[in-house]
């Protein structure tokens, strides 16, 4: 079916909607990469089987979709219109679930989500605290969309924003709309999107050719917002890019995806074919006279290739190394032509802004940060997953209301935002609003949306070392401050963790941090010292404990801890002695055991084994 006018699109969307309306029920199973790790595909197969068996094919619309956000709980099943939500579903019970939920209009208690805080079972998805405080403008439709079925997107009025833009708006009006919406880049720096588009639109090109790029490199450890968007709703990215291309005057776009995202890549390629087939992409889109197509470039997975100039070099077939700016890509980018790069999430916001209207969009968020932001909430937190929240929400709300707080009633220590080059934020700033400026103000940044929660058992020097190691390994090696400087910082941090730190080391860290920040070529080096700087700022005493007292207060750094057994708690079961690889634990049966500090290699295996929680590190 080729769409050759907005009216044809309208008709087609209505047809699709009618077809869907005849199903009274819908069951959605998350088929995202996260849930696939929990065998969600078997759950889906069992579901198809069961629907057939119970003769429900005419009644139930089945969806194997992209990420629902609550990946930790997979495999997930979501029944509508009832709103019943099942977590950690075992394929063998799927038929029982279908029978109970649809035929008997009840539920299977066992698979209902149990709130770890209250301990209560919750029936409706919208009542689960994890979902309740989120504003899921982007992720909220994932459960309705089979990523490889364009009709699912069209049933949600997909591509109508593009039709509106192509037939009712001038390019300048589109840029103005994005400007009024206040959209800022979601890839890290929060640069105003409309401003970037305008610079690119106005930049002269030697032959009139301009490019746009979607940055789906997503290299932050633990982050998978962009993967889930691209995997779950690829058409929204395509529609956003087509709108941007029209506004900028670009004829060709690239999506740069890392090869570790095979499902996102596959779904995107299928979506591109479908869009082309329906004339929603390619020559003379919907009969508007506007030509635009998208190519896909697959990256090798280097973190630095997310940096825009390195990304461009990589598409051009060169080694992915940043180059100095100016000239900015908007003026001189891919193959020397003006090029606009935006992040996946930024592009997905574009059709949304056109559809809901820029004013409405701008009502969400704070003065200078509009709309929502997706974070991947991980670490020492009860509910991990992808959360989409309005800008301006506090860190406390994300961590305690959505995330359900810290497991095991441990104390919160810090949260790292902004990925490896962000900063560690301590408890005193938990009430800070999450927006671009506030996070920067306390030495961290929004970044692309990583959020790692740490509890009292986290050593902040060790954490700083961890991030520095990542950046040191991911440095492209082009410029001296980053190539050698991050290495030297890592060596100093390692020394401190090994109990060999000296007071001069703190000074050297500070000197290096300042000069690496000031003199590095790209933002990888420019922000690499942030974890060290913020931990030095908020947790300096931990560094000092390591250096002066040769102690790791969190009981993490092996060289600085002693493993001890609390004789009050130990019941002498002997379990620890059995697992100790070096036979460092001894004791009479039913008598408190002791650790020989000379023999102990501080592997902590015994700690995990002791049921009395009698073993501790000091």
Partner 1 sequence: MKSVSITIDGKAVEVPADYTILQAAREAGISIPTLCHDERLEPFGACRVCVVKVEGARALLPACATPVSEGMRIWTDLEEVRRARRTVIELLLSDHPNDCMVCERSGSCELQDLAYEYGVREPRFQGERHTYEVLDDNPLIERDYNKCIVCGRCVRICREVQGVGVYDFINRGFDAIPGTPYGRSLPETPCEFCGQCVSTCPTGALVSIPYKGKGRAWQVTKVRTTCPYCGCGCQVDLHVRDGKVVGASSPVMVGPGQGNLCVKGRYGYEFIHHPDRLTRPMVRKGGELVEVSWDEALDEVAGRLKEIMEENGPDSVAFLCSARCTNEENYLLQKLARAVVGTNNVDHCARL
Least Å distance, CB 102 to ligand FMN, is 41
CB 43 within 8 A of CB 182: no
Query: Could you tell me which residues are beta bridge partners of residue 416?
Result: 424, 452
511 touching partner 1, by CB under 8 A: yes
CB atoms within 10 A of CB 204: 9
Site for ligand FES in 16-35 (CB under 6 A): 30, 32-35
DSSP symbol at 433: B
Least Å distance, CB 74 to ligand FES, is 5
Among 526, 572, 574, 592, binds partner 1 (CB under 8 A): 526
Least Å distance, CB 191 to ligand FMN, is 5
491 interacts with, out of partner 1, ligand SF4, ligand FES, none, CB within 5 to 8 A per kind: partner 1
Least Å distance, CB 36 to ligand FES, is 7
Least Å distance, CB 125 to ligand FES, is 12
CB 167 within 8 A of CB 6: yes
137 touching partner 1, by CB under 8 A: no
d(CA 18, CA 8): 15
Which range touches partner 1 (CB under 8 A), out of 82-90, 323-331, 414-422, 603-611?
Answer: 323-331
462 interacts with, out of ligand FMN, ligand FES, partner 1, none, CB within 5 to 8 A per kind: none
The contacts of residue 216 (CB under 8 Å, 6+ apart) are 226, 227, 230, 255, 256, 257, 258, 261, 264, 344
519 touching partner 1, by CB under 8 A: yes
Residue with tokens 């490019």: 211
Nearer to partner 1, 175 or 471 (CB): 471
| 139 to 131, 309, 369: CA distances (angstroms) | 11, 29, 19
Least Å distance, CB 183 to ligand FMN, is 9
Tokens of 169: 């708006």
In the complex, which residues of this chain contact ligand FMN (CB under 6 A)? 185-189, 191, 215, 217-219, 303-304, 306-308, 341-343, 346, 448, 522-524
600 interacts with, out of partner 1, ligand FMN, ligand SF4, none, CB within 5 to 8 A per kind: ligand SF4
Least Å distance, CB 228 to ligand FES, is 6
- Is the alpha carbon torsion for 139, 140, 141, 143 positive or negative? positive
478 touching partner 1, by CB under 8 A: yes
Least Å distance, CB 525 to ligand FMN, is 9
Tokens of 45: 């197969």
Q: Nearest 5°: phi and psi at 376?
A: -100, 110
- The residue count for binding partner 1 (CB under 8 A) is 34
Nearer to ligand FMN, 87 or 257 (CB): 257
Among 13, 27, 63, 70, binds ligand FES (CB under 6 A): 70
The contacts of residue 549 (CB under 8 Å, 6+ apart) are none
305 touching partner 1, by CB under 8 A: no
Interior CA angle at 144 toward 141 and 150, to 5°? 100
Is there a cis peptide before residue 3, judged by omega within 30 degrees of 0?
no
Nearer to ligand FMN, 219 or 481 (CB): 219
| 561 to 424, 458, 550, 555, 592: CA distances (angstroms) | 23, 13, 9, 6, 21
508 touching partner 1, by CB under 8 A: yes
Of all helices (H) and strands (E), which one includes residue 200? helix 193-202
Q: Which runs of E-coded beta strand occur in 119-221?
A: 121-122, 211-216
Least Å distance, CB 567 to ligand SF4, is 9
Q: Nearest 5°: phi and psi at 83?
A: 85, 10
d(CA 222, CA 419): 8
At 340 the three-state DSSP class reads strand
d(CA 264, CA 262): 6
Site for ligand FES in 73-132 (CB under 6 A): 74, 76
195 touching partner 1, by CB under 8 A: no
Nearer to ligand SF4, 334 or 580 (CB): 580
Tokens of 166: 């192509």
Nearer to ligand FES, 522 or 580 (CB): 522
326 interacts with, out of ligand FMN, ligand FES, partner 1, none, CB within 5 to 8 A per kind: partner 1
| 435 to 366, 367, 605: CA distances (angstroms) | 7, 9, 41
Which range touches partner 1 (CB under 8 A), out of 143-151, 453-461, 517-525, 540-548?
Answer: 517-525
Among 294, 302, 554, 565, binds partner 1 (CB under 8 A): 302
Least Å distance, CB 346 to ligand FMN, is 3
Least Å distance, CB 18 to ligand FMN, is 37
50 interacts with, out of partner 1, ligand FMN, ligand FES, none, CB within 5 to 8 A per kind: none
Tokens of 408: 């095991």
152 interacts with, out of ligand FES, partner 1, ligand FMN, none, CB within 5 to 8 A per kind: none
509 interacts with, out of ligand FES, ligand FMN, partner 1, none, CB within 5 to 8 A per kind: none
Nearer to ligand FES, 33 or 534 (CB): 33
312: left (phi over 0), alpha (psi -120 to 50) or beta: alpha
In the complex, which residues of this chain contact ligand SF4 (CB under 6 A)? 304, 322, 475-479, 482-483, 520-522, 524-525, 563, 565, 570-576, 580, 582, 584-585, 593, 595, 600-606, 609-610, 612, 614-615
Among 385, 420, 443, 485, binds partner 1 (CB under 8 A): 485
316 touching partner 1, by CB under 8 A: no
Nearer to ligand SF4, 307 or 397 (CB): 307
For 35-64, give one letter per residue: b (16+ CB within 10 A) or e.
bbebebebbbebbeebbeeeebeeebbbbb
The contacts of residue 258 (CB under 8 Å, 6+ apart) are 216, 217, 218, 219, 298, 299, 300, 301, 305
Nearest to 475 by CA among 460, 489, 491, 487: 487
Which range touches partner 1 (CB under 8 A), out of 206-214, 454-462, 476-484, 562-570?
Answer: 476-484
d(CA 439, CA 415): 12
Return residues touching ligand FES (CB under 6 A). Answer: 30, 32-35, 67-71, 74, 76
Return residues touching partner 1 (CB under 8 A). Answer: 302, 319, 321, 323-324, 326-327, 472-481, 483-488, 491, 508, 511-512, 515, 517-521, 526
């Amino acid at each position: 079916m080729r769409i050759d006018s907005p009216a044809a699109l309208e008709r087609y969307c209505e047809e699709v909607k009618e077809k869907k309306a005849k199903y009274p029920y819908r069951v959605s199973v998350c088929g995202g990469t996260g849930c696939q790790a929990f065998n969600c595909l078997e759950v889906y197969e069992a579901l198809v089987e069961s629907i057939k068996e119970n003769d429900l094919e005419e009644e139930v619309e089945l969806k194997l979709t992209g990420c629902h956000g609550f990946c930790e709980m997979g495999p997930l099943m979501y029944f509508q219109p009832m709103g019943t939500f099942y977590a950690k579903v075992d394929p063998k019970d799927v038929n029982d679930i279908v029978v109970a939920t649809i035929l008997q209009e009840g539920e299977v208690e066992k698979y209902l989500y149990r709130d770890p805080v209250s301990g209560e079972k919750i029936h409706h998805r919208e009542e689960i605290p994890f979902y309740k405080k989120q504003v899921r403008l982007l992720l909220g439709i994932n459960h309705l969309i089979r990523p490889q079925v364009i009709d699912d997107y069209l049933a949600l009025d997909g591509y109508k924003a593009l039709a509106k833009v192509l037939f009712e708006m001038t390019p300048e009006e589109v840029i103005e709309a994005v400007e009024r919406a206040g959209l800022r880049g979601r890839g890290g720096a929060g640069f105003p999107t409309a401003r970037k588009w305008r610079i690119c639109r106005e930049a002269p090109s030697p032959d009139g050719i301009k490019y746009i790029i979607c940055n789906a490199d997503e290299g932050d450890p633990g982050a998978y917002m962009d993967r889930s968007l691209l995997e779950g709703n690829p058409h929204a990215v395509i529609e956003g890019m087509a709108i941007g291309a029209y506004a900028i005057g670009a004829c060709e776009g690239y999506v740069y995806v890392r090869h570790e995202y095979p499902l996102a890549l596959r779904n995107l390629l299928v979506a591109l074919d479908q869009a082309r087939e329906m004339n929603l992409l390619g020559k003379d889109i919907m009969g508007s006279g506007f030509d635009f197509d998208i190519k896909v470039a697959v990256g090798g997975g280097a973190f630095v290739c997310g940096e825009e100039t390195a990304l461009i070099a990589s598409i051009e077939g060169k080694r992915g190394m940043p180059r100095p700016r100016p000239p900015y890509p908007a003026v001189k980018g891919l193959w020397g032509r003006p090029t606009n790069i935006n992040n996946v999430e930024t592009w997905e916001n574009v059709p949304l802004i056109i559809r809901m209207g820029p004013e409405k969009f701008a009502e969400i968020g704070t003065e200078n940060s509009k709309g929502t932001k997706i974070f991947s909430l991980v670490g020492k937190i009860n509910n991990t997953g992808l959360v989409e929240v309005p800008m301006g929400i506090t860190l406390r709300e994300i961590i305690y209301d959505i995330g359900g707080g810290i497991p095991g009633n441990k104390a919160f220590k810090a949260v790292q935002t902004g990925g490896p080059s962000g900063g560690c934020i301590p408890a005193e700033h938990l009430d800070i609003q999450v927006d671009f400026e506030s996070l920067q103000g306390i030495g961290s940044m929004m970044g692309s949306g990583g959020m790692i929660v740490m509890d009292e058992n986290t050593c902040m020097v060790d954490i700083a070392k961890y991030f520095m190691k990542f950046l040191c390994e991911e440095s492209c090696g082009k410029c001296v401050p980053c190539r050698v400087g991050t290495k030297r910082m890592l060596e100093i941090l390692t020394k401190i963790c090994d109990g060999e730190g000296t007071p001069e080391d703190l000074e050297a860290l500070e000197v290096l941090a300042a000069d690496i920040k000031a003199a590095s070529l790209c933002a990888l080096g420019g922000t690499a010292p942030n974890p060290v700087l913020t931990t030095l700022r908020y947790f300096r005493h931990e560094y000092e404990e390591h250096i002066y007292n040769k102690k790791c207060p969190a009981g993490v750094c092996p060289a600085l801890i002693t493993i001890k057994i609390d004789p009050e708690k130990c019941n002498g079961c002997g379990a620890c002695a059995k697992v100790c690889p070096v036979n460092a634990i001894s004791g009479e049966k039913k008598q408190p055991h002791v650790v020989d500090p000379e023999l102990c290699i501080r592997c902590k295996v015994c700690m995990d084994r002791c049921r009395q929680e009698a073993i501790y590190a000091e």
